[in-house]
């Protein structure tokens, strides 16, 4: 056998081996053990499966195209180097498909963990509620949550590019395991939801030109507006979190960014996250603008006592002082911002913050203590806001809070599962289209 024939035979075997391994990448529905209540919602399951099916189908076709080319006249005349180059790119595509599969597999595997899986399903429900915005301003994508180490949360937003190409079909929120289980999880979770909402409403692109205009006309304060513009994406997410869960958002943020002093005052314009010290002060100031109450000043003063400015270098202290002085004007800009996507309404109007004033949240928590069933029927993000308010008011202990939140997450997960099952049970059974069945047989 000459070199060309041997190369062709070898690469044919390798390509066929790719097909055999691809056939073992099965649907999650066939190999992920989990309680029904821990499962992700059908919309998310369907979106993920369809995305992965398309990737496997495309790769399946590419492998067969390569085999046909290799066995055809062009392939027989090609050099071993050319054939190897084509196969190398094919194998890279195969690894990309596996990477995409593993991205979702890492998320779904936790659903089989005792208790944790059901709690994650409950967090899916909380996230969906926090993302919902009456008024048909956008079509909210499915959201799924998973746990990871570390103190910060993160999101891979829906409709963003996945590694190797294609749009992410769902929003994936990474939740810090150390936040489980208590109302503090709401701060991190809904901050990430805020990133998704901001993208759906084009909030950052609509705010940046305004902030850039202020930079040009601010004279000595140009640097301050430049800093706010650099941090705007994270600030908008914090704004959404405060608007949804109130004081629980600021208290949860304080827990996340309570770091050694050097980190709390680190101001890096290459980082889209505000310096922790000013971020907490800004969160409290946003809260006071949305929900005027003495509690915000108490939290801001407490934060200053934890990390006093007096020990800073004069130049650094002056910059933080200037940032504080500009906060009222900056927050007014956020509160009254009217992006085109909201069709003339401001953020405050669209988010309907009047329903989450501290006095009302305190009253709701008092009412729910007398009639607990009403709490389980209320909107999950509203419940988190009320529990956070109760925590700030000293009306619930950390131990009782953890127990209550665990029960709520379990209830929301179970209710979502049963509601979905009941809805599906009322629909007539439909035969799968033949093409869909063939496709499934090809790629699974």
Per-residue tokens: 125: 């429900």
Residue 420 has pLDDT above 80, yes or no: no
Do the beta carbons of residue 284 and residue 303 sit within 8 Å?
yes
More confident residue, 431 or 46: 46
Least confident stretch, 53-57, 297-301, 369-373 = 53-57
Residues in Cβ contact with 98 at an 8 Å cutoff, skipping those fewer than 6 apart: 25
Least confident stretch, 304-308, 359-363, 372-376, 423-427 = 423-427
More confident residue, 426 or 247: 247
Q: pLDDT by residue (tens digit) across 251-281? A: 999 988 989 999 999 988 888 999 999 999 9
Separation of alpha carbons 109 and 146, rounded Å: 9
pLDDT for 35 equals 64
Residues in Cβ contact with 255 at an 8 Å cutoff, skipping those fewer than 6 apart: 184, 187
Residue 82 has pLDDT above 70, yes or no: yes
Q: Are strands 143-148 and 171-176 parallel, antiparallel or unpaired?
A: parallel
Residue 430 has pLDDT above 70, yes or no: no
Per-residue tokens: 311: 């020990």
Residue 398 has pLDDT above 80, yes or no: yes
Q: pLDDT by residue (tens digit) across 307-336? A: 999 889 999 999 999 999 999 999 999 999
pLDDT for 440 equals 38
Choose the most confident range, by mean pLDDT, from 48-62, 137-151, 210-224, 252-266: 252-266
Residue 34 has pLDDT above 70, yes or no: no
pLDDT for 218 equals 56
Q: pLDDT by residue (tens digit) across 145-186? A: 988 877 778 899 988 888 767 788 899 998 888 777 776 788
Alpha helices in 246-345 (DSSP H): 247-256, 261-264, 276-290, 294-306, 314-335
Residues in Cβ contact with 171 at an 8 Å cutoff, skipping those fewer than 6 apart: 127, 131, 141, 142, 143, 144, 155, 156, 157, 158, 193, 196
């Amino acid at each position: 056998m000459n070199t060309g024939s041997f190369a062709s035979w070898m690469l044919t075997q390798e390509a066929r081996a790719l097909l055999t391994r691809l056939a073992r990448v099965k649907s999650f529905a066939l190999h992920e053990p989990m309680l029904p209540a821990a499962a992700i919602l059908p919309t998310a399951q369907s979106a993920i499966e369809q995305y992965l099916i398309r990737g496997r189908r495309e790769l399946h076709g590419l492998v067969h195209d390569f085999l046909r080319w290799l066995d055809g006249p062009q392939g027989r005349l090609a050099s071993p180097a050319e054939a190897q180059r084509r196969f190398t790119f094919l194998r890279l595509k195969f690894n990309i498909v596996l990477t995409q599969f593993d991205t979702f597999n890492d998320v779904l595997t936790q659903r089989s963990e005792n208790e944790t899986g059901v709690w994650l399903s409950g967090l899916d429900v909380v996230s969906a509620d926090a993302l919902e915005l009456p008024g048909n301003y956008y079509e909210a994508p499915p959201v799924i949550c998973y746990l990871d180490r570390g103190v910060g949360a993160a999101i891979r937003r829906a409709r963003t590019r996945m590694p190797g190409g294609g749009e992410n079909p769902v929003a994936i929120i990474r939740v810090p395991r150390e936040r489980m289980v208590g109302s503090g999880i709401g701060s991190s979770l809904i901050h990430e939801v805020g990133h998704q909402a901001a993208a759906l409403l084009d909030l950052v692109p609509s705010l940046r030109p305004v902030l850039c205009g202020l930079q040009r006309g601010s004279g000595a304060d140009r640097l301050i507006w430049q800093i706010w513009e650099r941090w705007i994406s994270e600030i908008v997410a914090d704004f959404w979190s405060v608007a949804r869960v109130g004081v629980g958002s600021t208290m949860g943020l304080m827990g996340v960014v309570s770091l050694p002093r050097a980190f709390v005052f680190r101001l890096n314009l290459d980082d889209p996250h505000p310096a922790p010290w000013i971020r907490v002060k800004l969160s409290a100031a946003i809260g006071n603008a949305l929900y005027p109450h003495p509690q915000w000043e108490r939290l801001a003063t407490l934060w200053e006592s934890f990390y006093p400015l007096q020990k800073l270098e004069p130049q650094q202290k002056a910059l933080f002082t200037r940032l504080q002085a500009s906060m009222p004007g900056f927050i007014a800009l956020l509160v009254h911002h009217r992006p085109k996507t909201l069709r003339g309404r401001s953020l405050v109007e669209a988010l309907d913050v009047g329903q989450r004033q501290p006095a009302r949240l305190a009253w709701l928590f008092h009412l729910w203590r007398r009639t607990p069933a009403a709490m389980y029927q209320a909107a999950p993000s509203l419940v988190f806001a009320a529990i956070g308010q109760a925590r700030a008011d000293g009306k619930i202990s950390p131990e009782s809070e953890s127990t209550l939140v665990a029960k709520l997450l379990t209830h929301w997960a179970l209710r979502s599962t049963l509601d979905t099952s009941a809805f599906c049970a009322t629909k007539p059974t439909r035969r799968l289209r033949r093409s869909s069945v063939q496709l499934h047989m090809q790629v699974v």
